[in-house]
Chains A and B, each alone.
Chain A
Amino acid sequence: MFLIKKIFLFFKRELNLFYNNIADLFSNILFFFLSIFIFVFALGAEEQLLRSIGLGIIWSLLLLSSTLSLRKFYEDDFNNGVIKIIHMSGISYELFVFLKILSHFFFVQIPFLISIPIACIFFNLPINEVYNLMITFIIGSLILSCLGSISASMNLLNKTNFSIGSIIVLLFSIPVIIFSVGINNSEDSFRSLINLLIGITLIFLGVSPWSSAAFIKLALRNK
């Protein structure tokens, strides 16, 4: 019973921080739109060309812009010791990581959903591709949150070079891109590809709390 109350409090605090850091979210969305504009200007206004490559561009830019905010995933809580206080109140590191992944999914990735239909207008994508994109993004962004948690916890003690963290995210997100862009090219295998994506999500949801918690423990020991 107390645990549920603590989890509720954790999300209340995350919501409070989300309100205070809303400028970060807007700057990420702005980065996403500006890079789409740059692609459109660079490729020229050929409708057929844009329509054929639009989906891939939107997915890769979503990936890049979601790696932008990864640095802040654990850093603030780690540096000011909130992780220790939460741990001392009876929440294990694994549960903390799991809650943090969920809160990153709800407060960073889900707001991006609003920007996806607007981005699809620029590429003149057909409506069923937009639906597919939304569904795959909801599943894929949870994978990205898990990957972000792993890379951010690995880089807790690394103050100078964060690009190594983005490399891990980009490397492991290749299957996500393959399956989620593949959904549109093969109509009849929609079900199986969605199942594959959900399977990858479940694997990462299982693996990332343990690995991130191990990295956090390691970082606390060597601080």
Chain B
Amino acid sequence: MLLINNLSFSRNDNIIFQNLNLSLSDRSITQIRGKNGSGKTTLLQVILNFLECKTGEIFWEGKNIKKNIFSFYNQTTFIMDHNTCTRKMTILDNINFWSGLSSSKLTKNEILLLLETFNIQKYQNTKTMYLSAGEIKKLELLRLVLEQKKLWILDEPYNHLDDLSIQILNQTFIDHINKDGIVLFTSHLNPSISNLEVVEL
């Protein structure tokens, strides 16, 4: 359970958000909706402690995350809005690096099956610099399944994706919630997910 209490953030005396309260219980999916430049990405960065908040506290499982940052990171997957794969490495090299970093328990066959679901299996030995933006985004989203963490934080997950992939992604979210997970994502779209809680910024 993630609890955000009275959070404010300002950049050069320019208030981005103020007195924000948010509580994400288990089995919940939350969307942060807002216009371009309304501070969606900044909020996620503050939650993940990459940016310093001005006032307020964030609690994960009852503990302040500033004091227990690595136990918070240990249960969190963060998908950024830009590509985090290394452009000069192949898909499989990237996946092996990620799964090793998160000590994933997925076997090689399961990973290949995942690649097949997203229809990028034929490029598994291609360097990621030759893939299209949508294919790279799908590769990024594989980290969700790969790392098997409880809290998923996603920044604009629907960018570049086609309709079929959006459906698969929504289904993955629902499966994750049913397994006691928490999903928090930002988007300016209106995705069709049942039980979606929306926070306007």
Contact = CB atoms under 8 A, between A and B. Distances in A.
A84 B80 contact: yes
A21 B98 contact: no
A85 B101 contact: yes
A164 B52 CA distance: 28
A90 B74 contact: yes
A20 B70 contact: no
B105 interface: no
Interface stretch (B16-24, B83-91, B176-184): B83-91
A13 interface: yes
Interface in B110-147: none
A17 interface: yes
A90 B102 CA distance: 9
B129 to A, nearest CB: 10
A195 interface: no
B80 A20 contact: no
A85 B50 contact: no
Interface in A65-123: 76, 80-82, 84-90
Contacts of A127: none
B164 to A, nearest CB: 27
Contacts of B80: 81, 84
A69 to B, nearest CB: 15
Given A80-B86, A90-B74, A221-B50, A16 B101 contact: no
A6 interface: yes
A221 B52 contact: yes
Nearest to A6: B101
Contacts of B73: 87-90
A20 B128 CA distance: 13
Interface residues on A, range: 20 to 34
A81 B93 contact: no
B86 A9 contact: no
Given A9-B100, A21-B88, A85-B98, A80 B52 contact: no
Nearest to B127: A20
A5 interface: yes
A25 interface: no
A12 B93 CA distance: 10
A222 to B, nearest CB: 9
B101 A86 contact: yes
Interface in A123-159: none
B178 to A, nearest CB: 25
A9 B70 CA distance: 19
A220 interface: yes
Contacts of A6: 100-101
B89 A13 contact: yes
27 contacts: A2-B103, A5-B100, A5-B103, A6-B100, A9-B96, A9-B100, A12-B97, A13-B86, A13-B97, A17-B88, A80-B83, A80-B85, A81-B80, A81-B84, A82-B84, A84-B50, A84-B78, A84-B80, A85-B78, A85-B101, A86-B101, A88-B73, A88-B76, A90-B70, A90-B73, A221-B51, A221-B52
Interface of B: 48, 50-52, 70, 73-74, 76, 78, 80, 82-89, 93, 96-98, 100-103
Interface of A: 2, 5-6, 9, 12-13, 16-17, 20-21, 76, 80-82, 84-90, 220-221
